[in-house]
Structure 1
């Protein structure tokens, strides 16, 4: 019978923080594309034009908009998520064994814990990632329309587009955005979209962690041997991809609710129900899958990389413990 080993929570927190920093650094540009794609109301053409304009103008800095916020807050966010899951798995296990229900319960608890950091992190990140989208809209909007009137009808002859540089927009830092939110909406302003974040992160963790655990266990050569790092990476990628796509509609709702600045003819929303209703009515069910492929491209390698770094056991090494994964039981 497997012997249950004690885990070091401080070591797990260090592991989670390091894993988060490395993972986010690798996939952040794709996350930027996902946020802007989810926020636009038109088809993918505007999105493509916008990013070509950024590349044409050599604005490579726009591809790391909000990265500082994410890298700062992802340390506690991933530390809480990964370490909390390990902690609850350890507490719920009996002789090192867990039922699927208890695995899902541990993931649920981890998801609930992480939103204390995830919500303000996403709130600030989205404002910074989305800053260039409205300016790009203005640049590609038709400025002159020439029509030919014949009787009671008119026909569009030509349409010119404004290709001049867009007006300069003052770049706000995360600190400035935080101060403005605290000034206008109070502390709770940082937690706008909390319900939608819970609606996304709890199901994600309930799906991801049990699926990862079972995929990871399939790569164990024998009870005495550890799972190869490449298998941990592939397990994290596959489990992350499945969970990300499954909760993508919740992510779209969360992104819309947390976007404070709206472009021309864009909706404002009064909560989750109002957001879902308006999206269904005006954009159709397909809108809930906007950015799903980008989200899968973000989450899959993010959690694959994070799990590998997490299993390296940097925290245990620094604190003088023997690296041990709760999944190896």
Structure 2
């Protein structure tokens, strides 16, 4: 890419703004996705039906249950995602002595950025899953945090780290790898509107592909972090368990609301991030 590089702080702020923007728009779909992933009785069969069921039985506000955790998480999570992707990209180009990013490095960089991001998000993801579960006994973040620390210690907040690592490695590798590929096929934008449309298209396609790749890992991560059973401990054995007991299709439970969120959501992320970066670039290089 030809854009002038920016200091880390600008990448961090841009990623934070992008993340919060996306979560405010798409959060109800995340609640539906989690419900479907934790459901072994098929009570939540479709996205619209699930939304209606939640609203009818628990009230509209339930669609935003647990949003405080992801709101607090989104800033450091998305900031880390984009900043780590940029920094790891620079690192790999130096290590492999490659002057410009290529497809293989884009995938490797995305995967490494995903792994980096995982260490930031695990406690927030764990709290969010516990709050989104229909059977939850908790009223908010503080209740969940106190319960986890009381029963499992501070390290208990990192339950599901291994599964979270795999989820983010696969999603980021697909997301950033495909963005690189699709951008290479797009015409060079001549206006800011064209640039926004290209970013929205690339981000949406990348988000959809990343979701296809990582949904099975997300399913088992949700079950591991829900903590309702001890049969889900490690990621790959859990994948086998779910497929064996419920069929391969169960590994894609929650896929529709997830892809509806992270497809367009991936576009929103990229558009807001690049817009913020362009804004900061104008300020930084004008000084």
User: Is TM more than 0.5 here?
Assistant: yes
Larger mean CA deviation between 293-302 and 83-92 belongs to: 83-92
Aligned equivalents of 2:49, 2:16: Cα separation in 1: 36
1:293 is aligned to: 256
Distance 1:3 1:49 in 2: 46
Q: Aligned-pair distance for 1:33?
A: 0.4
Task: State how far apart, in whole Å, the 1-side matches of 2:174 and 2:137 are.
Answer: 41
Equivalents in 2 of 1:87, 1:59: separation in Å?
A: 43
Structure 1: distance between partners of 2:83 and 2:153:
30
Contact kept, 8 Å, 1:119 with 1:192, in 2: the verdict is yes
Q: 2:80 aligns to what?
A: 80
- 1:43, 1:95 → 2: CA distance? 50
Residue pairs, 1:217-228, within 5 angstroms: 217-221=184-188, 228=195
Q: Which residue of 1 aligns with 2:121?
A: 118
Q: Which residue number corresponds to residue 302 of structure 1? A: 265
Q: Taking structure 1 as reference, are residues 4 and 66 closer, same or farther at Cα in structure 2, changes over 3 Å only? A: closer
Determine which of 83, 108, 121 is the counterpart of 1:105. Answer: 108
Contact 2:242-2:248 at 8 Å conserved across structures:
yes
More strand by proportion, 1 or 2?
1
Q: 1:171 to 1:46 in 2, by over 3 A?
A: farther
Alpha-carbon distance in structure 2 between the residues aligned to 1:49 and 1:236: 28
Among 172, 176, 182, the alignment partner of 2:149 is 182
What is the Cα-based RMSD across aligned positions, in Å? 2.7
Aligned residues: 281
Deviation (angstroms), 1:260: 2.4
Contact residue 11 and residue 316 of structure 1 kept, 8 A:
no
Distance 1:225-1:113 versus aligned 2 partners, 3 A rule: same
1:200 corresponds to: 167
CA distance in 2, matches of 1:301, 1:3: 26
Distance in structure 2 (CA, Å) of the matches to 1:238 and 1:276: 25
1:230 aligns with: 197
1:86-127 Cα distance to aligned partner (Å, 9 max, x none): 122233346751222221221122111101112112111111
Unaligned stretches of 5+ in structure 1?
Answer: 135-168, 324-329
Matched, 1:35 2:34: yes
Tell me the secondary structure at the aligned position of residue 235 of structure 1: helix
Between 1:100-109 and 1:60-69, the stretch displaced more is 100-109
Higher helix share: 2
CA contact (8 A) 2:103 2:181 kept: no
Post-superposition CA distance 1:16-46 (Å, at most 9, x none): 0000000111110011100000110022557
Match of 2:23? 24
SS for the counterpart of 1:86 is: helix
Partner secondary structure for residue 284 of structure 2: coil
Highest Rg: 1 or 2?
1
- Give CA-to-partner distance per residue, 1:69-92, whole Å, 9 cap, x none: 101111000000011111222333
Following the alignment from structure 1 to structure 2, what is the Cα–Cα distance between the partners of residues 28 and 286?
A: 24
Cα separation, partners in 2 of 1:180 and 1:308, compared to 1, 3 Å: same
